[in-house]
Structure 1
Amino acid sequence: MGSIGLLLVCKVLPYLEQELDYHYTLFRMSDYPQMAQLLSHHAASIRAVVCNTRAGADAKLIEALPNLEIVLNYGVGVDGVDLNKCREKGIRVTNTPDVLTDSVADLAIGLILTLLRRICECDRYVRSGQWKKGEYKLTSKFSGKTVGIVGLGRIGLAIAKRAEGFNCPICYYSRTEKPESKYKYYPSVVELASNCDILVVACSLTEETYHIINRKVIDALGPSGFLINIGRGKHVDEAELVSALVEGRLGGAGLDVFENEPHVPQELFGLENVVLLPHVGPGTVETRIAMADLVLGNLEAHFHGKPLLTPICLTSDVV
């Protein structure tokens, strides 16, 4: 399949890049400072694109590749891919679900524990020698706290399962109630926030979920509540979150994602009740290898006429 042109627009695991280079004619976006130069020489030969949320496949790129057949998203969220344009042109789209569920759910629990028990601050307390001057202040326990989850999909369910191990009551919000779920359902995010101690954002990013965490939700969570975001930065109205934390209207926040990554609001850096991570939810060796294998498996399936392993449904009612 070496004659098949493939465009890599994002940074991936070296293992995946090596496999793509071995099996396909690989064009790296990073090798071309000017997109026009790449397109003028190779656009017609590119039949597949590998991308992610940060470096995606927008309408302009898709239109510029006349023989594009498939877009492979190295991640779960496909908000970096213009699905409408793909549907219009009959281009297939895949992602890498399931394999990163455990890593992201693990991190969500880690964020909760780190935030409530002030683990980062405790570490600094010991390193700076302050422990010799006195005991560290009391913190808040996780066990028994009510956890509300926005989005009860694969990752949301995995977080709920882990939180149950801490004897936490679980409740959730989703577009529709899930009859098979044993957890309490609330028909709005404001109601969910009003009835939980810890609110975890774990839904997909869509037009409906953009800024789903707004001032009303934050105020409903209140000065003793905690917000955890392992979804997408744009789920949260970041300006409202910052003001709530600065003004003491929210108890704390654990954030792995931000609205304008890698830029983080400067006001958050001086706050003790905030834990900030550089979007590392799925960032484990095991997960990245599994994601890479899914990309390779989908490519092989497509170019051998077999069913895709993890296709994205492009019917209008889904998108």
Structure 2
Amino acid sequence: MFKKIVGIEPLDLIPSAELKLQEFAEEVILFRDIPKDDQQIIERISDADAVLLSYTSTLDQKILEKCPNIVYIGMCCSLYSPETANVDIHYANKRGIKVTGIRDYGDEGVVEYVVSELVRGLHGFGTDPSGHPEKPWDGVAREITGLKVGVVGLGTSGGMIADALKFFGAEISYFSRTEKQEAKAKGYTFLQLDELLEQSEVILCCLNKNTVLLHESEFEKLGEHKILFNTGLSPAWDMKPFQQWLAGDNRCYCDTLGALGDRKLLEHPNVRCMQVSVGRTRQAYIRLSEKVLANLSEYNG
């Protein structure tokens, strides 16, 4: 049992999970706002031996050095690798601090977002950023059936999106570090990135945070009259060639400003950004809460 658990920022846990935290520590303190700076993070942690945080704050070495009592850090957000985490996991490991994170809790909402926006774009439902009626992408309403879709990053989220679009009749190709036999069994075609970009009508970037694969040469391969989705937490592209590509007969969909990368682009006629994290659903909060508690239970043995 911990002496003190501190949640340094909003954690998106359901109320019953917050109550359950009391079983893991003598004292539990949960802050409801995002800390304004590193000093406030240090003050909030104080003498706590367990810290919980989401994705909006960072625990780097400088902060951890000033919090000597920490033995456990629970990330109430996705943890894919030490390099993409908002916790200095390498330093934490040197200190003997256990760091846990979670995965695959908000993917269902992302799948629904992609299907919804793609259908609206292909059919011309709704309005464009200027408030005018949206025109069908190809000038006439079109189904997903037969659409050539390329998925960049066929992890859990990318795989779920591919499966959903295949259900609607799309032709699925993908690029990842290695060819996946389970994808081959589903009839998905493995392509190198340049070939994928050239052949696909719709490209979905489903990459880890801070992973950039689209540079100037990639946008040249991508070409005109293409739809680009980014479902990651950060841009999958270099900004300058992306903006040049965006000026053509193309369209980009992102759910959040973080995924888009530049607030100035929100008003761009070829950008559709909802500024809402589509994975943050009622069901996602439940899955997140269950996994956070499971990590605490496992640590406590």
Same fold (TM over 0.5): yes
What's the CA shift string for 1:219-247, capped at 9, x where partnerless?
3222211100011223222333223212x
Q: Out of 195, 210, 234, which is 2:199 matched to?
A: 195
Query: Offset of 1:9 from its aligned partner?
Result: 2.7
CA–CA distance in 2 between the matches of 1:41 and 1:204?
29
Query: Offset of 1:35 from its aligned partner?
Result: 4.9
Give the corresponding residue for 2:28.
25
Structure 1 residues not aligned, in runs of 5+: 131-136, 306-319
| Secondary structure of 2:102's aligned partner | coil
Where does 1:59-74 land on structure 2 (aligned, <5 Å)?
Answer: 59-74=61-76
| Secondary structure of 1:234's aligned partner | coil
What's the CA shift string for 1:61-85, capped at 9, x where partnerless?
2222212222222222453222222
Query: Offset of 1:154 from its aligned partner?
Result: 0.8
Q: Percent of pairs identical after alignment?
A: 21
TM-score, L = length of structure 2: 0.81
- Higher mean alpha-carbon deviation, 218-227 vs 169-178, is at 218-227
Give the corresponding residue for 2:146.
144
CA–CA distance in 1 between the matches of 2:75 and 2:296?
11
Structure 1 36/115 Cα, relative in aligned 2: closer, same or farther at 3 Å? same
CA–CA distance in 2 between the matches of 1:243 and 1:88?
44
CA–CA distance in 2 between the matches of 1:86 and 1:118?
50
Where does 1:78-117 land on structure 2 (aligned, <5 Å)?
Answer: 79=84, 80-117=86-123
| Secondary structure of 1:190's aligned partner | helix
Alignment-mate amino acid for residue 4 of structure 2: G
CA–CA distance in 2 between the matches of 1:99 and 1:268?
27
1:10 has 2:14 as partner: no
Structure 1 35/56 Cα, relative in aligned 2: closer, same or farther at 3 Å? closer
| Secondary structure of 1:149's aligned partner | strand
Aligned pairs, how many?
Answer: 286
Structure 1 120/241 Cα, relative in aligned 2: closer, same or farther at 3 Å? farther
TM-score, L = length of structure 1: 0.77
Where does 1:80-229 land on structure 2 (aligned, <5 Å)?
Answer: 80-121=86-127, 124-125=131-132, 138-182=140-184, 183-187=188-192, 189-205=193-209, 209=211, 211-229=212-230
Structure 1 203/40 Cα, relative in aligned 2: closer, same or farther at 3 Å? closer
Alignment-mate amino acid for residue 104 of structure 1: V
- CA RMSD, 1 decimal: 3.1
